[in-house]
Structure 1
């Protein structure tokens, strides 16, 4: 996404209102024309992206300085039409010396389940030194989720996908992607 659009998003996430955008992406020749609706409240911020007859929304409960980047990745995943596939977004790299055991404790698993059921955002501490940021959008047109996972700040590793199916399938897919992202980030830490 262009720097100009990122700067606009950074300003607009702090406002209530409706904003019209047209932006180009590296993977497509046709610009995405969409309307961004921002609704801020005391419990979080609802971002709604309307493009043609499609409507996607993302709720962020704890906005921070990188919220505009999370929103930009969400918009880019809509533009690219990413679908659920058998392969994860990043290579399957397992760090043998990184002993994860059970990745999430019971409370974290319940938080992840709630995120799949309701949508929103979540920070998970999985022992990497920096938390994993997750944003989940419940699709409107059919059962499923669109998820964005980000590990790290300086050199972030990101996964974005849409999974169609019931909550149990969506939870399994999100947990699988989280496992791959953590393994990839852990192997990068060990290599550094």
Structure 2
């Protein structure tokens, strides 16, 4: 399950980081109705602001620069990482029981340039052909919806019998970009030959 701090929580966190106090935030799962509560204790100081996050039986701390213009994004990403189990605790992890060496992390599917292009398209609309290592690129067209904020996306890969996705996402640019990237990754996976996917 993937939990995220919603947009209204991010806006509140931006204001809260200018104060000292304890605040409660609710994280929601991306596609379900599940919720997770987090207590955030902020001690504003100079040059750093100390942030303590309590979630269930976990307690994590983070120091951010008080003058940093995107400190709210740093804290929000840290909260998301805790909620999704991507932050290591202070205790040693249990040793892994395996007979084979661990596989290295796979390379990112999209380059920084491609991600930048997708961000631009989510803001303004447009078209791009993304090379992802297949014989054919993934073609992506994005149209901004009005008056409700969101995008309509058409994405396809292949020539003779292309695999296509078409959907509309309502929400802020962050949510639209996330759904667009998930869709591109899914097209990449279903276009990968079975033997290559199993290797």
- Tell me the TM-score normalised to structure 2 length: 0.45
Higher relative CO (Cα under 8 Å, sequence separation at least 6) belongs to 1
Higher gyration radius (CA): 2
